[in-house]
Amino acid sequence: MTIFKEKVDEEYLTVAETKEILERLEVERATDDDREMRYELARAIEHTNRFAELDPDDAREFADKLADLDKVDEKTANKIVDIKPLDRDELRAVFAQERYSLSGDELDEILNIVNQYV
* pLDDT bracket for residue 1 (50, 70, 90): low
Q: Tens digits of per-residue pLDDT, 57-86? A: 999 999 999 999 988 999 999 999 999 999
Q: Give the residue among 55, 50, 61 at the shortest CA–CA distance from 20.
A: 55
Calpha distance 41→51 (Å, rounded): 15
Domain ranges of the chain: 15-51, 56-117
* pLDDT bracket for residue 37 (50, 70, 90): confident
More confident residue, 66 or 38: 66
- What CATH superfamily is the domain 56-117? HRDC domain (1.10.150.80)
> Letter for the amino acid at 99?
R
